[in-house]
Structure 1
Amino acid sequence: MSIDLLLFSSFLALSLILGIISSTKVHNISEYAIGNRDFSTPTLTATLIATYIGAGIFSYTLIETYRQGIYFLIPASAESISLLIVGYILAPRMGEFLGKLSIAESMGEMFGPRVRLITVIFGFMRLICYLSVNFKVSSKILELIFGTSGEYATILSALIVIIYSTLGGIRAVTFTDIIQFFTFGCLVPVITIIAWQALGEKSSAMVLHTLTTSALFDYKAVFDLTNPKLYEMLVMCVFFMVPDLGPDIFQRISMGRSVGQVMRSFMIAGFVCFLF
């Protein structure tokens, strides 16, 4: 068995096992949706980071950094600032929402059933698109490792996620997020080292040559006030800095024991995501 197959199979098996174990601790809809709100700050931070850094980010960050260089890296980095804004500005004002089962429930209590229904509909549309990207990347990995067809790999990856999240609710999702956090925390540096070594003895010279000769990484050209792309990049930075309070992020806020814990979790998560 190859190391790739062993690692991926172990990750999938752990996800299913944790989902089954977590299901025994769920007795009502509140425990299913937000647990008992007894998550520690590191746990809440880890699930925030894993929620923020999904399969889509791994895919398009590599592609667009290659295509656009600094023009993409700066707006992408600015996106993590939105987590800091939530932690520093919004979280202190969201104490009344702690313990709510969903953002739709909160919107319904404030604005009525019609707004609640609209929130549900657009929440579904948003998350279906998000899950589709994750399933697509996951199926590609399964296809490469197991040699299965793309269709079967997509169905398999979707079934695994649906089973453990359906059985265990937020506890299962949180535990698998922690596994994901440590898995990628270990593997990303390893992959970076392997890729660096694959470039050969002249790896440093090749990278330095790219950074000094490519117009995409020429910071003087990028920040030239006569460069129209500079203003496009700044507009994208502002756009990406707008806080995202979708159903998944709102749920992480609602899971917190206190406003202070939510603030700390978002601040730490924002800093880690910025480094990533």
Structure 2
Amino acid sequence: MMLSNLPLLMVIAFLLLTLATGLYFSKKTTSLQDYAVGNKNFSTATLVATVLATIYGGGGLIRNVEQVHKQGLHWIFFTILSATISIWIFIPLASRMSLFMRNLSMAETIGSVYGRIPRVITAISSIMTAIVTIAIQINVITLAISMCTDMVNPRIITIIATLILIFYSSFGGIRAVTYTDALQFITFLIIIPVLAWLMFQKTEFSIGNIVAFLKTQEKFQFSNVFSLNTSLVSFIALILAGIVSYIQPSTIQRIYMASSPIQAQRVFMYSGILSFFVIIFIVLVGIAVFVAVPDLPIQGIWKYIMGNVVPFVKGLVCISLLSLTMSTADSNLNSCSVLIVYDIVNSTGLSQNR
């Protein structure tokens, strides 16, 4: 009975640790600048952690493992290239942000160049994107809890997790969000290699046997990926779309949080390097599942993973999904709040009209 409850107990402990971290690093915000970007004295390592925690969502982990199993090398190249190049694109962007380092949002930067109306349009579209992102992450929390335990209604834990991130994000501002992001990303960074190793252990194949098996599979053959056809064109278009999708207000906000454009450049350079290794481990999980059960339907991939690990590891997987979802959701919640108050209410004079 205790073992079956272990994943749930681990999730509760992690949520309490997240709340404690958020409260500990909460600092009474005396201005909107404190709430939005802090006092700009964050270390490079902390900013790297919050950049990656913001970019990597729980849905991305689930989708990448499933698509590696389904599409093979096509998806492996796509996810590796998009996860590194997309982040490194911010390096030249950060080098040109010296005039805007005192800004609080992407909408303000656009408004300072193009005027008030483009600023409001950017703010509204960014808010809509943030709301969708937050909704997706909340849905993934429910999915993660349902995969790990059937001892409690998943929506109860989802509501608790959502209230926790709303609480520390609202009262602690970007400082609380940043340090909880660091905790959550470090947690994920520890767990994902363990999961990849365990999945390969389940195959009971040597590395040589795994490579030999993959060579026999069409979806893992290089000639299939790089042959000149419509699939290659679609593949390139998908990479370009993936690169652009990373340019979001919550990510741009990390540039404003840096002490200088030079620090911001270093942050995104290190983030791209670390992102490469993170993606490799996620890809390895998908490959391991494919080697073990190549004919498994995509809907059964995570059921297979959760059904072939002990309760302790099941709890770790659930915690890793919670880490990614909460860190992405709280960052978007913070940037969304700034966009509403600073770029819509203040810039349009709605607060004065009242």
TM-score (norm 2): 0.72
CA drift at 1:70: 1.1
Distance 2:123 2:7 in 1: 39
Deviations 1:88-118 (A, max 9, x none): x211101122131112222333333322221
Residue of structure 2 in register with 1:186 after alignment: 190
Task: Specify the SS of the correspondent of 2:25.
Answer: helix
Q: Contact between 2:36 and 2:173, CA under 8 Å: does it hold in 1?
A: yes
CA distance 1:243–1:137, change in 2 (3 Å): closer
1:57 pairs with 2:71: no
1:6-35 Cα shifts (integer Å, max 9, x gaps): 442232112212222333342221111111
Q: Within 1, Cα distance between the matches of 2:45 and 2:145?
A: 30
Aligned counterpart, 1:147: 151
- Report the equivalent of 1:237: 239
User: Could you give the per-residue CA deviations for residues 120-167 of structure 1, whole angstroms, max 9, x where no partner exists?
Assistant: 211111111211221111122233336332433432222122111111
Residue 198 of structure 1 and its aligned partner are, at CA, apart by 2.1
* Contact 1:53–1:273 (CA under 8 A) maintained in structure 2: no
Q: How many residues align?
A: 273
Structure 1 residues 145, 160: CA separation in 2 closer, same or farther (over 3 Å shift)? farther
What are the within-5 Å matches in structure 2 for residues 92-171 of structure 1?
A: 92-143=95-146, 144-145=148-149, 147-171=151-175
Letter matched to residue 260 of structure 1? I
Equivalent residue of 2:149, what SS?
helix
Counterpart mapping for 1:74-85 below 5 A:
74-80=77-83, 81-85=85-89
Deviates more, 1:78-87 or 1:150-159: 150-159
Distance 1:251 1:146 in 2: 38
* Partner in structure 1 of residue 42 of structure 2: 39
Match of 2:179 among 175, 181, 195: 175
Distance 1:232 1:181 in 2: 32
**Does 2:215 align with 1:212?**
yes
Structure 1: distance between partners of 2:152 and 2:124: 34
Structure 1 residues without counterparts, runs of 5 or longer: none
* Code of the aligned partner of 2:30: H
Does the aligned pair in 1 maintain the 2:98–2:261 contact within 8 Å? yes
Number of the residue aligned with 2:258:
256
Label 1:210 to 1:230 Cα distance change in 2 as closer, same or farther (>3 A): farther
Kindly provide the CA deviation profile for residues 192-250 of structure 1, in whole angstroms up to 9, marking residues without a partner as x: 12212222x3364663354112111111222123x431222122223323373311011
Instruction: Tell me the secondary structure at the aligned position of residue 242 of structure 1.
Output: helix
Q: Which moved more, 1:261-270 or 1:12-21?
A: 12-21
Preserved contact between residue 74 and residue 235 of structure 2 (Cα < 8 Å) = yes
Task: Tell me which residue corresponds to 1:271.
Answer: 273
The residue aligned with 1:29 is 32
Q: How does 1:216-227 map to 2 (within 5 A)?
A: 216-225=219-228, 227=229
Q: Name the CA distance, whole Å, in 1 between partners of 2:108 and 2:254.
A: 15
Unaligned runs of 5+ in 2: 280-354
d(CA) in 2 for partners of 1:210, 1:53: 30
Q: Which moves more between the two structures, 203-212 or 121-130?
A: 203-212
Query: Are the equivalent residues in 1 in contact too, given 2:28–2:171 (CA < 8 A)?
Result: no
Asked if the contact 2:86/2:243 (under 8 Å) is kept, the reply is yes
* CA distance in structure 1 between the partners assigned to 2:266 and 2:10 by the alignment: 32
CA–CA distance in 2 between the matches of 1:130 and 1:182?
22
Normalised TM-score (structure 1): 0.90
- Structure-2 separation of matches of 1:47 and 1:169: 14
Quote the RMSD (CA, aligned, Å): 2.0
Q: Distance in 1 between matches of 2:206 and 2:50?
A: 35
